[in-house]
Amino acid sequence: QVTAKTAFLFILPQYNVSVPTADGELVQYHYGLKDLVTILFYIFIAIILHAVVQEYALDKINRRLHLSKVKHSKFNESGQLVAFHLTSVIWCLYVVVTEGYISNPRSLWENYPHVYLPYQVKFFYLCQLAYWLHALPELYFQKVRKEEIPRQLRCIALYLLHIAGAYLLNLTRLGLILLLLQYLAEFFFHMARLVYFTDENNEKLFNVWAVVFVVTRLFTLTLYILVIGFGLPRVESQALDPERGNFFSFLFNNILFRMSVLLLVCLFQASVMWRFIHFQLRRWREYWNEQSSRKRAAAAGTKQQTKLLKRDSGYHENGVVKAENGTSPRTKKLKSP
């Protein structure tokens, strides 16, 4: 029994409470220090699953494609993220649909702070934190190049900041929707990279990703404006109450603070869109340059082939014009009368 209790501490979410409802009692959860033990356990699970995907799927495909070292590293990165993002999108979509967060958008800010979480919401957040924490030792295990490490560290830090912030500040409902939108766009991007590595002439999925990226950015910005600009300022409890998990909703009652936060959000989304537009323009420029170089090469090959055909047909030889049968044409002499 002692061993079972210890095992439950690692496997199952802790801090469950019975919340009275109209239909009876409902078991829900809040967070605490014991969550770190559960996250540690699922970090090891994520490392094992990472190795399984690498050995039984990605390595076999890499041996067939014969990719270079640079492409090999990027292929492995995108392959792992495709598996993770696809799983997370399906899981997150199931959670937000069953909990009614999509059908009732007001639930994103109503009754804030959302201190008590359903089991599936808390377990989802713990697994997300475990995955992005496991990505840190994977930088060593996968022997990532030194040039790539700063970029990947920034990505990991941003995800951890977003997920941990939503979890600790009791904004888990808003965080779920934002993660769903972000993971959806990332899934199409890394899927497009995988297809591109297998066939460099196939870039159709990048166009699909571009559309999905723009749509998800618009939804993300709209969601921020809806929740921060209109939702949280209408929360009944506006007083600072850390014991109840109400950390900053009172700040959104101040219009100056609210507008400042919205301005920062808009600037951040604008910077993301600017990088995206710059990337698309560079990609299209490279595509058109490649197409024009191919046309020039094809035109040069056609001219060369035409010259060879003329030389073989006997029309010219050493600068002397000849007839079709190869004999030199002679001018007839006129007889004097």
Under the banding of pLDDT at 50, 70 and 90, the label for residue 99 is very high
User: Phi/psi at 241 (nearest 5 deg)?
Assistant: -145, 80
Task: Please name every residue paired with 28 in a beta bridge, in sequence order, or none if there are none.
Answer: 17
Under the banding of pLDDT at 50, 70 and 90, the label for residue 128 is very high
Give the tens place of pLDDT for each residue, 238-265.
565 566 666 666 566 667 777 888 888 8
Does residue 266 lie within any of the structural domains? yes
Does residue 330 lie within any of the structural domains? no
218: which 2 tokens?
A: 């618009």
Q: What local confidence, expressed as pLDDT, does residue 110 receive?
A: 83
Q: What is the largest CA-CA distance in the chain?
A: 136
* Euclidean distance between CA atoms 124 and 134, whole angstroms: 15
Collapsed DSSP state (helix, strand, coil) of residue 317: strand
Using DSSP bridges, classify how beta strands 320-321 and 16-21 pair: parallel, antiparallel or unpaired. unpaired
Give the tens place of pLDDT for each residue, 267-322.
988 888 898 888 888 878 877 887 788 788 877 777 777 666 655 555 444 444 44
* Euclidean distance between CA atoms 249 and 198, whole angstroms: 49
Does residue 99 lie within any of the structural domains? yes
* Euclidean distance between CA atoms 76 and 99, whole angstroms: 34
Alpha carbon 29 to its chain's center:
30
23: which 2 tokens?
A: 């239909």
Number of domains in the chain: 1
Does residue 310 lie within any of the structural domains? no
Under the banding of pLDDT at 50, 70 and 90, the label for residue 2 is low
Does residue 321 lie within any of the structural domains? no
Does residue 289 lie within any of the structural domains? yes
Residues 6 or more apart whose Cβ sits within 8 Å of residue 117: 28, 29, 30, 125, 172
* Euclidean distance between CA atoms 230 and 240, whole angstroms: 19
Does residue 67 lie within any of the structural domains? yes
Examine the pLDDT at 175 and tell me if it is beyond 90: yes
Q: What is the pTM of this model?
A: 0.82
Helix (H) or strand (E) holding 144: none
324: which 2 tokens?
A: 């079709």
Does residue 36 lie within any of the structural domains? yes
* Residue 325 DSSP code: T
Domain around 179: 1-293
